[in-house]
Structure 1
Amino acid sequence: MEHNARRAAVAALALSLVAALGAAPAQASRERPGPPGRPDHDVRFATFNASLNRNVEGQLAADLSTGDDEQAQNVAETIQRTRPDVVLINEFDYDPANVELFRDNYLEVPQNGADPVDYPYAFVAPSNTGVPSGLDLNNDGTVGGGDDAWGFGLFPGQYGMVVYSRYPIDADAVRTFQTFRWSDMPGNVLPKDFYSPEAQEQLRLSSKSHWDVPVRIGGKTVHVLAAHPTPPTFDGPEDRNGRRNHDEIRFWADYVSSPRQSSYIYDDEGVRGGLKPGERFVIVGDYNADPHDGDSLDGAINQLLDHPRVSTSVTPSSEGGAEQAVLQGGVNLEHQGDPSFDTADFAEPPGNLRVDYVLPSRSLRIEDAQVFWPPESDPLFRRLVGTFPFPTSDHRLVWVDVRLPHRG
């Protein structure tokens, strides 16, 4: 009970931060118009697993306080070079103070000649990572440690996430699904032979959280559906992480489906149901699942890619991803997927994969889409992308430009 009270207090603090960032008149004056030639109804959405996670609680805040952390500078420059209007950052240790620190000391400071970016609005909330469950979730006979947290983490909020936006966030309409229980999803693939009856009943579905963050753009609302499902590895033959990854992805597939299919869903405030029919949305995040290769359950990400409400008319691609697959060789040469679609540079196994996604609803026309993975001949490759050990992250920023319709 003490921990639940603490989590509720922290969640309230997070929502207060959103209100302060998104509603205060003083903050609104910081917004600048978008780049020339991009009218207001053309919007760039992005996702970036930036690896801004640390092994000690509070270390990220210390790094972001200095303004001279090289990795944070590289993350900021990557965002400055691509200039998304709305961006989800995965693996950003949870602390409301970190949102301001990264924005003020890095995003709004020119990095290596790149123009600063200004995000007057942001959303951040608690993550299940590192939050003790009080249960033996890995069946090793003891309770405690990262494997027995609701989501793997060495401390509460490690590997969290944050949404930055040029456009106002409707803080009162945000929905979070941190406490939704896996067993409450009908037809789930929870490995019942592995978990105790108590664990089956209490285990949360989301390894971090699922967020519905409504963004107001030109009088219209676009729901940014953010998540970071667990990697489908680091388990045993029961495949508990692969199964959880599958159902974390399925959650959004059901959420944007018919009211009947989403009726089982409830948010952290107890409100039931999914997205209303006809609502615009963009699904963003590191989903740790490739449609052709890797360790995820067959068809896991296809629950979204093949969804009738999701647009996949343009697949984000890069020259650098295809180049690295050839240069690195090995298992990459055996992959079925197009390496120009890869978004992460992983060691073998599984090799480079497509795991990061920006998936708009069909009501949003895709105009362009790319993976920020320049070739080795580009000066930005060595500084911002590189090869292991990476100067920034083993993931690449992915962006999609969409056009909001003039009517409707």
Structure 2
Amino acid sequence: MRAAARILAIMALPVLPHPARAEALRLATWDIGFHRDGPGLMLRDIEAGKDRQVAAAVAVLVRLHPDIVLLTGIDWDHEGRALDALRARLKSAGLDYGWSYAPRPNTGRASGIDLDGDGRTGGPGDAQGYGTFSGAKGMALLSRLPIEAGRARDYSAFLWADLPDGLIAGAGLSEAARKVQRLSSTGHWLVPVRMTSGEVLSILAFAATPPVFDGPEDRNGRRNHDETAFWLDLLDGRIPGAAPVTQPFAIMGEAALDAEDSEGRPEALQRLLADPRLSDPLPASPGGAEAADATHRGDPGLDTADYGDPPGNLRVDYVLPSSDLAVTGAGVVWPLSGDDLAADVRAASRHRLVWVDIVAP
């Protein structure tokens, strides 16, 4: 299907009811932009009820009504108070997420050594994932269906040096850093969700580091590549100590990379998008097409983030269902500039929510 025709076909889908089948689910991922300059400030803004960004994000989520959504770019706290406050706001607006999963991310987690090689310790670049405080720009999974947290697998402590065929060797890390540096800049999770049929859908969630903001050693570019490559190795059974991944599943989150138009190393992402065990529904939007960058090679309707120039608009957020799941619809919430939802979308985040409707086998 040509890009323009595909965009026209999906424009109205977000506001329609779910397909009338027993196991129809809407999966979504969104870098919601819920991060502030210090701990507790995001909670303050959610509870105050006056923050324009919070209100806009709630409006977008309620409009789309995803059954399972992975939120990236959201500050984490030890008691989960900010996430609970967001869930309460959503519930009062008619979207009730009874289950959540949000263990401590690697962002802002102290490593105890000089990871970035600047001669000092304790800075944001010395954390396992860049962050000015523990949990800055973390992630959270919300679900209307039961999350079996006791069976979830958190791979966030997996060492980068232990990734088969990883690219850490050229990243300019000291020997001490190589011994402690985790692969995940935010996290890698496998979270079982119990569907109404009683079967389990596994959500493979992550948020990678941007492949920029480094030097000629390309540390972030290498790490970004390997954070995506982790899923390929996990599916191939090459991660030490990890149990096999069984269908159905969906890989969801922020790869922080566009396979055609980003800086970075796109090889792992290109392999993931082409893997026959997965399907890429190519979620698109009319707003992305409207805001096309003339110099980009990729389909602008697929873009999921508005970064300004440079680098322009990019496709960096993904929902990739396993190939046994039937895809009945997909899209990116990037309306045309005159749409009634456009103001909320712009106010909420520079990223756009990506959704895929699936039917379990």
Q: How does the TM-score come out when normalised to structure 2?
A: 0.92
SS across alignment from 1:347: coil
Find the partner of 1:315 among 282, 297, 309: 282
Find the partner of 2:252 among 284, 307, 311: 284
Q: How far, CA to CA, are the matches of 1:298 and 1:89 in structure 2?
A: 23
Q: Equivalent residue for 2:56?
A: 74
Quote how far apart the aligned CAs of 1:200 are: 1.1
Quote how far apart the aligned CAs of 1:300 are: 3.2
Q: Equivalent residue for 1:356?
A: 317
Q: How far, CA to CA, are the matches of 2:189 and 2:273 in structure 1?
A: 19
Q: Equivalent residue for 2:161?
A: 183
Larger RCO: Structure 1 or Structure 2 (Cα < 8 Å, ≥ 6 residues apart)? Answer: 2
Residues 1:371 and 2:313 aligned together = no
**Aligned partners of 2:124 and 2:130 also within 8 Å:** yes
- The one-letter amino acid of 1:103's match is R
Find the partner of 1:293 among 231, 256, 261: 261
Residues 1:338 and 2:299 aligned together = yes
Seen in structure 2, the aligned counterparts of structure 1 residues 144 and 101 have a Cα distance that, compared at 3 Å, is same
- The one-letter amino acid of 2:314's match is L
**Aligned partners of 2:57 and 2:348 also within 8 Å:** yes
Structure 1: runs of 5 or more not aligned: 1-33, 111-115, 265-271, 326-331
Seen in structure 2, the aligned counterparts of structure 1 residues 36 and 126 have a Cα distance that, compared at 3 Å, is closer
**Aligned partners of 1:309 and 1:362 also within 8 Å:** yes
Q: How far, CA to CA, are the matches of 2:182 and 2:271 in structure 1?
A: 20
The range that moved more, 296-305 or 143-152, is 296-305
The range that moved more, 188-197 or 118-127, is 188-197
Of all paired residues, the percent bearing the same amino acid is 41
Matched pairs, number: 343
Q: How does the TM-score come out when normalised to structure 1?
A: 0.81
In the TM superposition, what whole-angstrom CA distance separates every residue of 1:156-185 from its partner, at most 9, and x where no partner exists? 000011111111111211110121100011
Q: Equivalent residue for 2:351?
A: 395
Quote how far apart the aligned CAs of 1:109 are: 2.7
Q: How far, CA to CA, are the matches of 2:153 and 2:19 in structure 1?
A: 34
**Aligned partners of 2:18 and 2:26 also within 8 Å:** no
Q: Equivalent residue for 2:201?
A: 222
Quote how far apart the aligned CAs of 1:205 are: 0.3
Q: Equivalent residue for 1:174?
A: 152
Quote how far apart the aligned CAs of 1:148 are: 1.0
Seen in structure 2, the aligned counterparts of structure 1 residues 179 and 36 have a Cα distance that, compared at 3 Å, is closer
Quote how far apart the aligned CAs of 1:211 are: 0.8
Residues 1:385 and 2:352 aligned together = no
Find the partner of 1:242 among 221, 225, 231: 221
Residues 1:150 and 2:150 aligned together = no
Seen in structure 2, the aligned counterparts of structure 1 residues 150 and 36 have a Cα distance that, compared at 3 Å, is closer
In the TM superposition, what whole-angstrom CA distance separates every residue of 1:76-95 from its partner, at most 9, and x where no partner exists? 11111111100000011112
In the TM superposition, what whole-angstrom CA distance separates every residue of 1:187-223 from its partner, at most 9, and x where no partner exists? 1101446111110121000001111110011211110
**Aligned partners of 1:288 and 1:296 also within 8 Å:** no
Find the partner of 1:97 among 66, 71, 81: 81
Q: How far, CA to CA, are the matches of 1:56 and 1:193 in structure 2?
A: 29
In the TM superposition, what whole-angstrom CA distance separates every residue of 1:264-316 from its partner, at most 9, and x where no partner exists? 2xxxxxxx22433x42111111110111011120323113101221112x210
The range that moved more, 55-64 or 391-400, is 55-64
- The one-letter amino acid of 2:320's match is L
Q: How far, CA to CA, are the matches of 1:191 and 1:293 in structure 2?
A: 26
